[in-house]
Amino acid sequence: MKAVCEALPYVFEFEASRTALIVIDMQNDFCSPGGFGERLGNDISPTRAIIPVISGLLDAAREAGLLVVHTREGHLPDLSDCPPAKLERSRRQGAGIGDPGPMGRILVRGERGHDIVPELRPIEGEIVIDKPGKGAFYATHLDSLLLNRGIEYLILCGVTTHVCVHTTLREANDRGYRCLVLEDATAAYDRADHEAAVRMVRQQGGIFGWTAFSSSWMEALHAKDN
Ligand code: C5J
């Protein structure tokens, strides 16, 4: 039987056994002082504020036995997977990818800045997808991994709503996944960017999918067993 979640533009129905929780880029570089996001001149408080909400989602997903996937944006130490255009733009903004920072080299795999924030650290058995781009499907094996497990429904949370969450959402939508974006478990540094991105998901009858609050999704997940 499908679980039914109150959502916009209309209810989101999902089968828990075919659902994955996708936690996007909750890394020190986007959420912690001295990271890439803050060095670009942003206030990181919105990205920190969703940490407890996502922690609750992880508890619920783990308890229900859902597939959990964490993603991390970053590059190889030699930056060979970083397009020159991306590198140049980061340098212009004073937060050059690969430059030294308080948490190691900015957006480089293996450095502390690239790590997921301690509160949301993956547990054994959870999947971590390292991605060089904004979308989690580009240059990764995420699609085959989900297909091989029969996943059809994606629950998206993380940062930032209008950049990596949206790019992943759009990639997933074109691949046929049914996507729900949790609006209180996603964040952008600028509230207006977040709100616009959330609105875009559900416009035109759900052009990219659905939006809901985390509590509604967790209630639906819980209710399926009762
Ligand atoms: C950005 C992301 N904003 N994870 N990355 O550069 O959204």
pLDDT tens by residue, 131-180: 999 999 999 999 999 999 999 999 999 999 999 999 999 999 999 999 99
* CA–CA gap between residue 209 and residue 168 (Å, rounded): 12
What's the rounded mean pLDDT across residues 22-50?
A: 97
pLDDT tens by residue, 10-23: 999 999 999 999 99
Q: What is the pLDDT of residue 205?
A: 97
* CA–CA gap between residue 100 and residue 40 (Å, rounded): 14
Query: Does 216 have pLDDT greater than 90?
Result: yes
Ligand 1 atom nearest to CA at 163: 7
Domain 2-222 fold: Rossmann fold (3.40.50)
Nearest to 26 by CA among 109, 113, 110, 117: 117
Preceding peptide of 9 cis, ω within 30°: yes
pLDDT tens by residue, 102-115: 999 999 999 999 99
What is the SS3 assignment for 46-100?
HHHHCHHHHHHHHHHHHHHCCEEEEEEECECCCCCCCCHHHHHHHHHCCCCCCCE
**Looking at the whole model, is its pTM more than 0.95?**
yes
For the chain, the average pLDDT equals 97
Question: How many angstroms does the Cα of residue 191 sit away from the middle of ligand 1?
Answer: 15
* CA–CA gap between residue 27 and residue 35 (Å, rounded): 9
Catalytic residue among 29, 31, 131, 179: 131
Select from 163, 165, 167, 181 the residue to mutate for testing ligand 1; criterion: most ligand atoms less than 8 Å from CB. Answer: 163
For the chain, give every domain's residue range: 2-222
Residue carrying the six token digits 């960017």:
193
59 is catalytic: no
Query: Does 224 have pLDDT greater than 80?
Result: no
Cα torsion through 167, 156, 45, 84, rounded to 10: -30
What's the rounded mean pLDDT across residues 64-86?
A: 98
pLDDT grade for 1, boundaries at 50, 70 and 90: confident
What's the rounded mean pLDDT across residues 44-54?
A: 98
Strand order in the sheet with 153-159: 127-131, 67-73, 19-24, 153-159, 178-187, 210-212
